[in-house]
Amino acid sequence: MTEETHEKLKAIKQSFRSMMNGPVSQSMREKGSDYKINWGVALPLLQKMATEYGHDYDLAINLWKENIRECKILATMIMPPEQMLPEVVDVWMEQTHTQEMAEIAASKLYQYLPFASVMAYEWIATDKVYYQIAAYNILGRLFARGMAPNELGINEFLDQVAVALQDDNIGVRHAAYNCLTHFEDLGDDYALLAQKAMRSQGLHL
């Protein structure tokens, strides 16, 4: 870590104390959040801070290493998407232990990676809850931006989303449902395909 990055990291960590939201922090701990430190800082405040620092690969890498909720969230906001390698994503996902982090990483960073769709299709086929949540958030964002899958992708997506909609985990079901809604918004043909596929699985949405 360079001296400049060290000083930035130090200043960021010190600033969190003044932004602390005690009730939010306490609520998260009660719900099982396992960070070493959780200040409960609101996302708009972190986004404002991210805008001030701009994209910074080294700072993002070192922020993520801190077992502090706000550091990890800020890392996803300032990591330059074009510089993030698949192996770094693998490490970050292995260290993602909350639904909040999976959703934020997907919306703030992962959807913009050059390999986002390939990665997301791999993740929806796993049995890992946070990977699936992140994946459906990624695909939902891509669909919302008008990025339609090819025929093979459509079939794979509809097969997996039908399973996810019946998952025991409510977070997975919610992410899958929202993603399916964005898929249907791609156009009437996509909506008809989705409805037909869901009905074939006994699902009536």
Q: What is the pLDDT of residues 136-155, one digit of tens each?
A: 999 999 999 999 999 999 99
Higher pLDDT, 91 or 36: 91
Residue 172 tokens read as: 């997975």
Mean pLDDT, all residues of the chain: 93
pLDDT value for 27: 67
Q: Is the pLDDT of residue 205 over 70?
A: no
Which range has the worst mean pLDDT, 32-36, 48-52, 117-121, 122-126? 32-36
Residue partners of 102: CB distance under 8 A and separation at least 6: 96, 130, 131, 133, 134, 137
Q: Find the helix or strand (DSSP H, E) in which 184 lies.
A: helix 170-184
Q: Is the pLDDT of residue 26 over 90?
A: no
Question: 76-111: buried (b, 16+ CB within 10 Å) or exposed (e) per residue?
Answer: bbbbeeeebeeeebeebbeebebbbbbbbbbbbbbb
Given a contact cutoff of 8 angstroms between Cβ atoms, the answer to whether 8 and 71 are in contact is: no
pTM over 0.85: yes
Domain ranges of the chain: 1-79, 96-205
Q: Is the pLDDT of residue 128 over 70?
A: yes
pLDDT band of residue 36 (cuts 50, 70, 90) is confident
pLDDT value for 70: 95
pLDDT value for 129: 97
pLDDT value for 146: 96
Integer Cα distance of 168 and 162 in angstroms: 13
- Tracing tokens 């997506």 back to the chain, one arrives at 157
What single-letter DSSP state applies at residue 107? Answer: H
Which range has the worst mean pLDDT, 24-33, 62-71, 85-94, 165-174? 24-33
Mean pLDDT of 105-123: 97
pLDDT value for 24: 66
Q: Is the pLDDT of residue 78 over 80?
A: yes
Pick from 114, 10, 116: nearest CA to 62: 10
pLDDT band of residue 31 (cuts 50, 70, 90) is low
Percent of the chain predicted with pLDDT > 70: 95
Residue partners of 104: CB distance under 8 A and separation at least 6: 43, 73, 76
Integer Cα distance of 70 and 78 in angstroms: 12
